[in-house]
Structures are given as structure tokens and as C-alpha cells.
């Protein structure tokens, strides 16, 4: 008999039928899943697996001119607690012993968490105690029982947890603890340059300073990606279908230098402690480029605690608050008259006159503080700060030309300073002047300017006659730190000829000399040129005898200027009861700042390089002789 083997017709038919049936069942199931119930399952998948995750772009940093960080973005973690998570986990345990063990273990973890957070364990336990919240019964849809109360499943535990602390907390694996990561703006130098930097509020909106002005560069663009998650809500990276990468913000390099900023803020603190002013401002800029090196105001605030600072403290008073510039304004009349060739530094004026006939009308001069026994040369008008002489210089120019020069120096118009809401100041058109205005305005009264305008007016002389644009941003960096754009010095206009600027600088040197009003500002060998200003404050419609704005604006060395410094002390009160003249409250600070800048910026003396030390601290080569 022939062996029929395994593959009989019946068996083969049976196996084939089974295989076909299996395939048939599979096919049927596939049809059910993919055709009949497709929409249902797709919706389920869509709900449970698909997610769109936004990827937050990192805001760019703000740097000083040496690339020290002034503002940066750091992640911070907000910890929250689901108080019910622990009890749910315990319920899942099979035996009471297991439940007890888990409860003890969780308590131990929480005790360690309390240590990490610096809290009392009892306070922390209160967060982990399951609690309910009452809601209207109609809205009670969050749990099975519509009993008018729902479980509180999210309690904020702590904000602002650092990455380092969080990594330790994460290692504890505390049940019910959740964490959200977000970016926070950090200002490592606290108060330093607060009015220039500005801040980012809790909503992430830029407020004031460079943060607001350069927001377009700093903010970047958030990205997003479409992801799928598994049952544990873990992202399935292989199903990242669509993705738009975030574009991090660009960095902004400022022209300010933290060291110089610190120097002037220290000096401002000294002014505040010595003279208790209402307000004070110090500005330092590069004489040649007009770039700001430092700017500080009093009062100021801590950028990391901006919420504690009233709005008026957050104002950049150097750009927003108006002062009567006082005698610092005299540079306008003198420069104008010199530039027009109407006078020379040696031209003399009788400054003892009480009145003068001008344009057919008698004008009464403002009283000078000193009596002059001889006609004053233009250089003496500046060095002695004669109101009378300044008025006569303006009269030589005439109303319109004097006004035009004042405008050309930047008074009555915004300087273009990019930060804050800058005020244009007040400088009336000559058509609107009253009779005494031609005697008052040249002396810096009946005109209002911001400290920044006064500073850049003096800067015009330091720069050789060009009114520079105040600039604060030096470079823009991309996310990799490469320079994208560099800002160049920009002149707004040429105001006076270089020769006039040179003459003015020479005359202004005499202010900081034995014969001038601010000999205290002089630094031997460094040709300090400047102008004091003292203006009575207008209080209740009258000029006060006790409230003054004292200022000193100057630059050095006069023959090749490096820095321009402005010190404005508003309503200072010297301890000895003296009037807060610019020479008293501002010029000494100018000198102190200048002396430090000489060392920091390595400014070389112009005259007498071999100078004997005072106090005998150092003995060095000195032509073979001990000083």
C-alpha cells in the first residue's frame, strides 16, 4: 500500500479552510476597525495620543559693553501638589501592611522635601491633605458624584524653584508632586542701571528700558510640534509629524559699562546721603561718539523686585523730568555769539548794568551773585557765570538767532534717546517771549530741559561742534552670539564750527580753575572743562530761595575730550545750611567720578606728566629725585 502521507486532500482542505477562516476573521476585524468604526477610533486616538506642544523661545540676553550679563532668562520651576494622588496610590495596595509601609515611605519623602524647600513638615503636610471644594451642583461634573463638591487636585506649593534644587527634589520621587517649567527674567546686578534695562513683568510683557525698546530683537518666536503620546503620556518621539523649531531671541549689547555705572551709582548714593535731594541724575557719555557709558537716577529700584517700586520711581528722570538748566545754558549764547563772529573770547561787556535798551524797550537784567569791578571778557562771563553777560551775548545774537542756536543745541526737542518717554522740554518761540525773557532765557531760566538735553548740549562742544545722537545699544547678537548689527555713532547736526568748539572748551576750562565758579572740579593735568548751574526751583508760582537745582556739566581733557559727565542734584540740602549751588552739590562729585574714570579708562594727562604724589604713598622714578 502506498503511504498517503500527511497531505491528504481532506487534511489539506481542512488546513486551508482554517487558514482562510483566520484570514477572513482578521480581514473582518480589520474592516471593522478601519472602515466601519474608523471615525470612532480616530477620534479616540486624536484625543488620547495626539498633542500639540508649544516650544518656548528663550529671550535674548542684555549685555554691557564688556559682555557682562545685565539681563538673562532662566528657567524656574513651579511646584504643585495633587493631594489625592497619595491616597489613590495607597488604596491600590493589597494589604493593610503594604498600605502602611507606603504611607510611611511617602511621609519620609515629604519630610525630605520640606527640608529642600525650607518649610516646616507640618506646613507641607497641609498641602498633601486631601481636600474638597464646593461648587454649584449643576457644575459638579468632575467626579462621579454630583454632590456639589469636587476634589482639589492642584495646589500651588512653591514658585521660583531653581534647576539645582528641583533636580534634588525630582530624585525624591514624591507622589502627587507636579512641576511646571517656565522662563523667568533675571537681573544679576539688581539696581544697577535699572532705568536703562527695564524689566519683564509676570505676564512676560516688557516694561520700560531696553527690555521694551529692543523687545523685537529680544523676544524671539515660539515654536511648536505635533506629537503622539502613549498611555503613560510619554511622548512617542518617532511620531513627531510636524515641527516648527523655536527661534531664540537675539542678544543686545549696550554701550554702558557696569564698572562706570557702579562708580556713578556709588557717587549718587553719596549725594543722597550728603544732600538728601528729591531727585538726582548722573550721566556719563563718550565725548566722541555720543554713546552712553552710564546713566543713573535717584530714586531707583531693584529690577528683581520691580513690584515693590512705585511707578514714579521707575521713571527715567534723566529723560522725562524737566529742570530749569540755570547757568549751564549760558554755553548757548556764548557759542552762538562766537560762532557768528560777533564776539571773540576777549570781547568785553559791562556786566554791572541794571538795565539795557533792547529792541526799543528797556530790559532789566537778572541780578548777578557777584559784583564785577571791570568789564568782563566773554571768557570771564563764562567762568564767573554772569547772568548779565549771558543776556548781553544773546542780545548780540538777537532773539531769533539765539533761539535758533538753542534749538540747534537740542533744547526744545527730543534727543532721540530710545528709552522711556522722553520729554521735548520747553523753549518758547521768540514770538511768544515776554519782555524779560531775553534776559532770563540766556541764563537758563524760563526754559526747561531734561538732564539728557543739558548733557548732550555740552557734549556738542566736546565733540567739536556736532550734536550727537544719544545711543545706548552698541550691537545686536544672534542666538549664537555672532554680531548681526553694529550701531555707529551718529551726529544729529553740526551746531558750531570746530574752532568755536575749541574756543568754548578753552573758556570752559576756566570755570574749573582758581578764577572760576567750580575750582573744586579741577584735576591738575587733565584740563577739566565744564559749567556749573544753579537754578531756583519754581514752587507755587514763585522762585524759591531754599530749593535749587544744582548741576555741573563738563568734559575732559578739554583739548582731546574723552568723557562728558553731568551731575544734576534736584533740591539738595547741604548739611551746613548752604545753598545747593552746583559748585557745592555737583562739582565735587564730578571730580570724584572723573578721577576714577582717569584710572579706569586710562586717560592720560595732557599737561605736566611728572607730578608729585600727594601723601607720599608711592615713590617711583622721578628723574632720580625723591618727591
Which CB sits closer to another protein, 152 or 603?
A: 603
3-class DSSP state of 1: coil
Which CB sits closer to another protein, 19 or 33?
A: 19
Q: What is the DSSP letter of 33?
A: I
Which CB sits closer to another protein, 11 or 546?
A: 11
Which CB sits closer to another protein, 16 or 42?
A: 16
Q: How far is the CB of 15 from another protein (least distance, A)?
A: 7
Cβ neighbours around 603 below 10 Å, total: 17
Q: How far is the CB of 608 from another protein (least distance, A)?
A: 8
Contact 64, 294 (CB under 8 A): no
The angle, 0 to 180 degrees and rounded to 10, between the axes of the packed helices 587-600 and 258-275 is 160
**Residue (of 175, 89, 91, 83) closest to 129 by Cα position:** 83
Residues that bind another protein (CB under 8 A): 5, 7, 9, 12, 15-16, 19, 58, 68-70, 72-75, 162-164, 186, 188-190, 192, 235-238, 240, 258-259, 261-262, 523, 525, 595-596, 598-600, 605, 609-624, 626-627
Which CB sits closer to another protein, 108 or 163?
A: 163
Which CB sits closer to another protein, 58 or 149?
A: 58
**Residue (of 510, 521, 501, 519) closest to 561 by Cα position:** 501
Please name every residue paired with 415 in a beta bridge, in sequence order, or none if there are none.
none
The angle, 0 to 180 degrees and rounded to 10, between the axes of the packed helices 498-509 and 451-462 is 110
Q: How far is the CB of 18 from another protein (least distance, A)?
A: 11
Q: What is the DSSP letter of 601?
A: T
Q: What is the DSSP letter of 149?
A: E
Annotate 94-133 with DSSP letters as a single string. SSHHHHHHHHHHHHHHHHHHHHHHT--HHHHHHHTS--EE
Which CB sits closer to another protein, 432 or 617?
A: 617
Q: How far is the CB of 238 from another protein (least distance, A)?
A: 4
Q: State the maximum Cα–Cα separation within the chain, in Å, rounded to a whole number.
A: 155
196 φ/ψ sector (left φ>0, alpha ψ -120 to 50, else beta): alpha
Which CB sits closer to another protein, 12 or 28?
A: 12
Q: How far is the CB of 248 from another protein (least distance, A)?
A: 10
Q: How far is the CB of 262 from another protein (least distance, A)?
A: 4
**Residue (of 434, 447, 489) closest to 332 by Cα position:** 447
CA-based end-to-end distance of the chain? 136
Task: Find the length of the chain.
Answer: 627
Which CB sits closer to another protein, 8 or 98?
A: 8
Q: How far is the CB of 272 from another protein (least distance, A)?
A: 16
Q: How far is the CB of 435 from another protein (least distance, A)?
A: 48
Apex 129 CA angle, 127 and 132, nearest 5:
100
Alpha-helix runs per DSSP H in 32-182: 38-48, 83-91, 96-117, 121-127, 163-172
Question: Grid coordinates in use for 43?
Answer: 477620534
- d(CA 356, CA 349) in angstroms, rounded, equals 12
Question: Grid coordinates in use for 407?
Answer: 534749538
**Residue (of 356, 372, 352) closest to 364 by Cα position:** 356
Q: How far is the CB of 525 from another protein (least distance, A)?
A: 8
- d(CA 586, CA 579) in angstroms, rounded, equals 12
- d(CA 415, CA 457) in angstroms, rounded, equals 10
Contact 175, 82 (CB under 8 A): no
Which CB sits closer to another protein, 58 or 560?
A: 58
Which CB sits closer to another protein, 434 or 623?
A: 623
Which CB sits closer to another protein, 16 or 104?
A: 16
Handedness of CA 307, 311, 312, 317 (dihedral sign): positive
Which CB sits closer to another protein, 294 or 323?
A: 294
Which CB sits closer to another protein, 155 or 592?
A: 592
Annotate 217-247 with DSSP letters as a single string. HHH-B-EEEEEEE-TT--EEGGG---EE--B
Which CB sits closer to another protein, 73 or 460?
A: 73
Q: How far is the CB of 75 from another protein (least distance, A)?
A: 5
Contact 449, 423 (CB under 8 A): no
Contact 511, 558 (CB under 8 A): no
Q: What is the DSSP letter of 295?
A: E
68 φ/ψ sector (left φ>0, alpha ψ -120 to 50, else beta): beta
Amino acid at each position: 500500500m502506498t503511504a498517503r502521507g500527511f497531505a491528504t486532500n481532506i487534511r489539506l482542505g481542512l488546513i486551508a479552510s482554517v487558514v482562510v477562516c483566520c484570514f477572513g476573521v482578521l480581514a473582518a476585524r480589520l474592516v471593522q476597525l478601519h472602515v466601519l468604526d474608523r471615525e470612532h477610533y480616530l477620534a479616540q486616538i486624536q484625543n488620547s495620543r495626539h498633542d500639540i506642544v508649544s516650544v518656548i523661545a528663550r529671550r535674548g540676553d542684555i549685555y554691557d559693553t564688556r559682555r557682562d550679563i545685565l539681563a538673562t532668562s532662566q528657567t524656574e520651576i513651579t511646584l504643585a501638589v495633587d493631594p489625592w494622588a497619595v491616597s489613590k496610590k495607597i488604596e491600590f495596595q493589597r494589604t493593610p501592611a503594604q498600605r502602611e509601609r507606603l504611607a510611611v515611605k511617602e511621609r519620609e519623602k515629604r519630610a525630605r522635601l520640606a527640608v529642600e524647600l525650607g518649610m516646616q513638615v507640618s506646613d507641607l503636610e497641609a498641602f498633601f491633605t486631601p481636600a474638597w471644594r464646593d461648587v454649584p451642583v449643576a457644575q459638579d461634573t468632575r467626579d462621579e458624584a454630583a454632590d456639589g463638591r469636587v476634589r482639589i487636585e492642584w495646589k500651588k506649593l512653591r514658585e521660583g524653584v531653581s534647576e539645582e534644587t528641583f533636580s534634588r527634589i525630582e530624585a525624591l520621587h514624591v507622589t502627587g508632586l507636579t512641576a511646571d517649567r517656565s522662563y523667568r527674567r533675571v537681573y544679576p546686578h539688581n539696581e544697577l542701571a535699572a532705568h536703562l534695562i527695564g524689566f519683564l513683568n509676570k505676564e512676560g510683557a516688557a516694561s520700560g528700558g531696553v527690555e521694551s525698546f529692543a523687545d523685537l530683537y529680544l523676544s524671539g518666536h515660539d515654536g511648536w510640534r505635533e506629537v503622539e503620546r502613549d498611555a503613560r503620556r510619554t511622548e512617542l518621539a518617532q511620531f513627531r509629524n510636524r515641527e516648527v523649531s523655536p527661534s531664540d531671541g537675539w542678544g543686545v549689547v549696550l554701550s554702558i559699562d557696569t564698572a562706570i555705572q557702579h562708580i556713578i551709582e556709588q557717587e549718587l548714593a553719596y549725594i543722597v546721603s550728603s544732600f538728601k535731594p528729591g531727585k538726582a541724575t548722573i550721566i556719563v557719555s563718550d565725548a566722541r561718539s555720543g554713546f552712553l557709558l552710564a546713566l543713573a537716577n535717584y530714586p531707583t529700584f531693584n529690577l528683581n523686585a520691580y513690584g515693590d517700586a512705585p511707578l514714579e520711581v521707575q521713571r527715567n528722570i534723566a529723560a522725562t523730568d524737566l529742570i530749569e538748566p540755570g547757568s549751564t545754558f549760558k554755553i548757548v549764547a556764548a557759542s552762538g555769539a562766537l560762532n557768528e563772529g560777533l564776539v571773540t573770547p576777549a570781547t568785553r561787556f559791562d556786566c554791572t548794568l541794571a538795565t539795557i535798551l533792547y529792541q526799543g524797550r528797556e530790559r532789566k537784567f537778572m541780578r548777578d551773585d557777584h559784583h564785577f569791578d571791570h568789564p568782563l571778557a566773554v571768557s570771564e562771563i563764562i567762568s564767573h557765570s554772569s547772568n548779565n553777560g549771558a543776556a548781553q551775548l544773546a542780545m548780540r545774537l538777537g532773539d531769533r538767532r539765539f533761539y535758533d542756536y538753542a534749538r540747534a543745541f537740542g533744547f526744545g526737542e527730543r534727543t532721540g534717546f530710545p528709552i522711556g518717554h522722553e520729554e521735548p522740554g520747553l523753549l518758547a518761540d521768540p514770538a511768544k517771549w515776554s519782555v524779560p525773557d531775553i534776559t532770563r532765557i540766556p541764563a537758563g531760566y524760563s526754559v526747561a530741559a531734561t538732564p539728557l538735553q543739558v548733557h548732550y548740549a555740552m557734549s556738542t562742544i566736546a565733540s567739536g561742534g556736532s550734536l550727537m545722537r544719544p545711543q545706548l545699544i552698541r550691537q545686536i547678537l544672534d542666538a549664537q552670539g555672532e554680531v548681526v548689527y553694529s550701531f555707529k555713532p551718529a551726529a544729529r547736526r553740526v551746531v558750531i564750527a570746530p574752532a568755536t568748539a575749541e574756543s568754548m572748551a578753552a573758556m570752559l576750562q576756566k570755570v574749573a580753575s582758581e578764577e572760576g565758579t567750580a575750582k573744586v572740579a579741577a584735576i591738575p593735568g587733565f584740563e577739566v572743562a565744564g559749567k556749573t548751574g544753579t537754578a531756583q526751583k519754581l514752587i507755587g508760582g514763585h522762585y524759591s530761595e531754599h530749593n535749587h537745582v544744582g548741576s555741573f556739566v563738563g568734559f575732559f581733557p578739554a583739548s582731546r575730550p574723552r568723557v562728558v559727565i553731568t551731575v544734576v542734584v534736584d533740591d539738595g540740602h547741604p548739611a551746613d545750611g548752604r545753598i545747593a549751588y552746583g559748585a557745592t552739590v555737583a562739582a565735587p562729585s564730578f571730580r570724584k567720578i572723573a578721577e576714577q574714570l582717569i584710572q579706569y579708562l586710562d586717560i592720560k594727562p595732557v599737561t605736566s606728566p611728572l607730578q608729585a604724589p600727594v601723601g607720599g604713598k608711592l615713590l617711583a622714578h622721578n628723574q632720580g629725585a625723591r618727591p
